[in-house]
Amino acid sequence: MELQFNQEELEFQKEVKEFLDVNLPQHLIEQAKRTTAVFPDKEVALEWQSILAKKGWLVPSWPEEYGGTNWNPAQKYIFSLECANAGAPSLIPMGLNMLGPVLIGYGTQEQKDFYLPRIISGEDYWCQGYSEPGSGSDLASLKCKAEIKDDKYIINGTKIWTTHAHFANKIFCLVRTDNSTKPQQGITFLLIDMEQDGVNVEPIIMLSGDHDVNQVVFNDAEASIDQRIGNEGEGWTVAKYLLEFERGGSSASARSFKAINLAKSLAEEIIDDDEPLLANPAYIKRISELELRAQSLQYTELRTLSSMKKGGSPGPESSMSKNLATDLQQEITEITLDIIGYFGIPKHDNTLGNNEAPVGSEKFITQAGRYQNSRAASIYGGSREIQKNIIAKAVLGL
């Protein structure tokens, strides 16, 4: 197992750092610091997206002919690591990392030529319509129905937890086109225009007060036949391909180290009994434990990378990384709130009205929201228990 970067990779790392120094604007770093949700808002993400698109570094995993970089797994990891270290806002993955690869793998030439450039330019902003009330982990039970009438699909049903549906002009959906066969075989992958009468987006407000997710109701919404990806009934295969493509290459450890360093700097600032909290042995112990766990996450990521560099697939390590990263993220936000105590309660300037953002240093006012939003990481992207099931089967052979 090779856990060190070689000379060529170190040179690439230097190139990425230099690019970020010059091209990542300070105001985007500040916006990212104030973001409490999983993803920044649309305009923040799209500004960073357009800077990366100009450099040709927006879609590293796509083939070069569609804008990809031809980077190897180590280069992709380094890029993601350095973006995290520099404090860049996250990109919104639904178009770039989810639908893009699906179109490349299963789309017709016309679909690729039409949709891929619009994903890169940000003209199309996609959301993902998989989950439904009652169908999440058991996705194959989904019920949202599409029937062909007069040469087009008519869609009826409900999708839920749809991240950024309120910003999106398009949604890619798994829909039921056949009830008479095995559940997985009656599912079709459709691209649906959100800007039509039959699509209604209802907000779901998170515990933190953030608006990230929604319920999307289709009431006789329409999609043309050429908005279908793959054949009818092949949606499950297309969706599985998306998951395969997405595994590995995570650099969650870099974000964890950054969050731990922030917690440490806050513990240095807050004085308790004439001493900074960072001098308190109980806090030293808790923070040191988190640092050790962030290191173990980093080694798991590097092990995944090492096997991918040799042409292997990430395997169950990606499920281990997901759970390690989730636990760590949740515990870092917990200790951060413990450190700042009542300074973490967002304050509002009443002269601005109730809808204005809380005032104060983002170091303090973002922590309660981050703590609350990080609970959702146990569920999205495959719940903690589903990941454990994968590990139990793939590693322990249970």
Ligand X SMILES: Cc1cc2nc3c(=O)[nH]c(=O)nc-3n(C[C@H](O)[C@H](O)[C@H](O)COP(=O)(O)OP(=O)(O)OC[C@H]3O[C@@H](n4cnc5c(N)ncnc54)[C@H](O)[C@@H]3O)c2cc1C
Catalytic residues: 246
Minimum CB separation of residue 393 from ligand X in Å reads 11
Pick the binder of ligand X from 17, 210, 389, 391 (CB under 6 A). Answer: 389
By beta-carbon proximity to ligand X, the closer residue of 233 and 382 is 382
Q: Report the site for ligand X in 150-189 (rule: CB under 6 A).
A: 161-163
Minimum CB separation of residue 163 from ligand X in Å reads 3
Q: What is the CA radius of gyration of the chain?
A: 22
Minimum CB separation of residue 162 from ligand X in Å reads 5
- Residue 371 makes contact with ligand X by CB under 6 A: no
Task: For 111-135, give one letter per residue: b (16+ CB within 10 A) or e.
Answer: bbeebbeebbebebbbbbbbbbeeb
**In degrees rounded to 5, what are phi and psi of residue 129?**
-105, 75
Categorise residue 353: left if φ over 0, alpha if ψ from -120 to 50, beta otherwise. left
Q: How far is CA 58 from CA 18, 120, 173, 217, 220, in A?
A: 17, 8, 24, 32, 36
Query: In this chain, which stretch among 14-22, 109-117, 127-135, 264-272 interacts with ligand X, using CB under 6 A?
Result: 127-135
Separation between Cα atoms, residue 347 and residue 336, nearest integer Å = 18
Query: In this chain, which stretch among 60-68, 195-203, 222-230, 385-393 interacts with ligand X, using CB under 6 A?
Result: 385-393
Pick the binder of ligand X from 146, 260, 376, 390 (CB under 6 A). Answer: 376
By beta-carbon proximity to ligand X, the closer residue of 205 and 359 is 205
- Residue 202 makes contact with ligand X by CB under 6 A: no
Q: Report the site for ligand X in 213-272 (rule: CB under 6 A).
A: 213
Specify burial of residue 283 (Cβ count, 10 A radius: 0-12, 13-18, 19+): buried
Strands (DSSP E) contained in the chain are 126-129, 145-149, 152-160, 170-176, 187-193, 199-205, 211-224, 228-229, 271-272, 275-276
Single-letter amino acid code for the residue at 130: Y
Separation between Cα atoms, residue 234 and residue 222, nearest integer Å = 20
Minimum CB separation of residue 95 from ligand X in Å reads 12
Report helix, strand and coil shares of the chain as percent, to nearest 5: 55, 15, 30
Total interface residues for ligand X by CB under 6 A = 18
Pick the binder of ligand X from 73, 107, 136, 248 (CB under 6 A). Answer: 136
By beta-carbon proximity to ligand X, the closer residue of 137 and 231 is 137
By beta-carbon proximity to ligand X, the closer residue of 122 and 129 is 129
CB-closest chain residue to ligand X? 136
Minimum CB separation of residue 11 from ligand X in Å reads 37
170-176 and 126-129 beta bridge pairing:
parallel
By beta-carbon proximity to ligand X, the closer residue of 266 and 390 is 390
Which residues of this protein are in contact with ligand X, per CB under 6 A? 127-131, 136-137, 161-163, 213, 376, 379-380, 383, 385-386, 389
